[in-house]
């Protein structure tokens, strides 16, 4: 009996360390355990915001991997949705980015004119510098929002934003997992995707 108690204690320590290492909540760990043990297939009925968030992550090419499709019909739909949606997403955001570059060039030109500079033409280097600065500002704003709503450190929130914007999408930090007010926060998350994609 004492041996079983010691084994159970060591196993619980290993589970606790695993959850800590992988930034998992108790509920997520339970779902993972259920999947591994083939006791249940985790099926949770998606709300509208879950579907909207998933479709945005698919189109943005991020692929965190924390939400999965279970049925064959959903997987087939996702394949066709991605095949049609991703090119349209890229064209749309390329076009929006070009328009914002034009606006940014106009603003920079006006600033140069107001300082009576001889050279008012905007160089690619100046435009790249301003775009990089704006991208950094977007990352900082996103880090402030995510650190508040997700209860992450500022650095972890900044890291999440960078991994998201570069479409690396490791999935080690994922929004909307531990939030009760998901409907309100999903708007902020989608806005972050959209604004960031235009500038990236």
Domain CATH number, residue 54: 1.10.287.70
Residues 62 and 142 in one domain: yes
Residues 32 and 110 in one domain: no
Residues 86 and 147 in one domain: yes
Count structural domains, the chain.
Answer: 2
Checking if the pLDDT of 81 tops 90, the result is: yes
Residues 3 and 61 in one domain: no
Distance from C-alpha of 160 to C-alpha of 174, rounded to nearest angstrom: 8
Checking if the pLDDT of 63 tops 80, the result is: no
Residues 154 and 113 in one domain: yes
Residues 50 and 140 in one domain: yes
pTM of the full predicted structure? Answer: 0.66
Residues 109 and 166 in one domain: yes
Question: Among the listed ranges 5-14, 34-43, 69-78, 170-179, which one has the minimum average pLDDT value?
Answer: 34-43
Q: How confident is the model over 101-154, as pLDDT tens digits?
A: 899 899 999 998 998 888 888 898 998 899 889 889 988 988 998 888 888 899
**Three-state DSSP class for residue 36:** helix
Q: Once rounded to an integer, what is the mean pLDDT over residues 62-68? A: 76
Q: Cβ(185)–Cβ(178) under 8 Å?
A: no
Average pLDDT, the chain: 81
3-state helix, strand, coil in the chain (%, to 5): 70, 0, 30
Residues 84 and 108 in one domain: yes
**Domain of 84, in residue numbers:** 43-199
pLDDT of residue 62: 79
Residues 123 and 90 in one domain: yes
Distance from C-alpha of 192 to C-alpha of 108, rounded to nearest angstrom: 24
Residues 49 and 15 in one domain: no
Residue 188 sits at the vertex; the CA angle it makes with 184 and 192, to the nearest 5 degrees, is 165
Residues 100 and 60 in one domain: yes
Checking if the pLDDT of 175 tops 80, the result is: no
pLDDT of residue 14: 81
pLDDT of residue 140: 92
Checking if the pLDDT of 24 tops 90, the result is: no
Burial of 90 from C-beta contacts in 10 A (0-12 / 13-18 / 19+): middle
Q: Does residue 29 or residue 125 have the better pLDDT?
A: 125
Residues 68 and 161 in one domain: yes
Q: Which residue has the tokens 């604004």?
A: 195
Inter-CA distances, 192 with 4, 131, 167, Å: 50, 16, 13
Closest CA relative to residue 159, chosen from 171, 143, 148: 143
Inter-CA distances, 150 with 8, 15, 110, 169, 173, Å: 32, 23, 40, 17, 10
């Amino acid at each position: 009996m004492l041996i079983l108690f010691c084994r159970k204690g060591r196993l619980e320590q290993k589970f606790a360390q695993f959850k800590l290492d992988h930034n998992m909540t108790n509920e997520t760990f339970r779902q993972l355990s259920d999947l591994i043990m083939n006791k249940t297939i985790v099926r949770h009925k998606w709300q509208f915001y879950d579907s909207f968030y998933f479709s945005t992550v698919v189109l943005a090419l991020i692929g965190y991997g924390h939400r999965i499709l279970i049925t064959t019909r959903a997987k087939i739909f996702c394949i066709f949705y991605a095949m049609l949606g991703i090119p349209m997403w890229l064209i749309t955001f390329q076009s929006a980015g070009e328009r914002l570059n034009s606006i940014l060039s106009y603003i920079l030109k006006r600033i140069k004119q107001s300082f009576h500079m001889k050279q008012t033409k905007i160089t690619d280097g100046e435009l790249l510098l301003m775009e990089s600065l704006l991208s950094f500002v977007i990352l900082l704003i996103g880090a402030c929002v995510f650190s508040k709503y997700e209860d992450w450190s500022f650095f972890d929130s900044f890291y999440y934003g960078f991994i998201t914007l570069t479409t690396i999408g490791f999935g080690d930090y994922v929004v909307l997992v531990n939030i009760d007010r998901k409907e309100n926060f999903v708007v902020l998350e989608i806005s972050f995707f959209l604004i960031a994609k235009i500038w990236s």
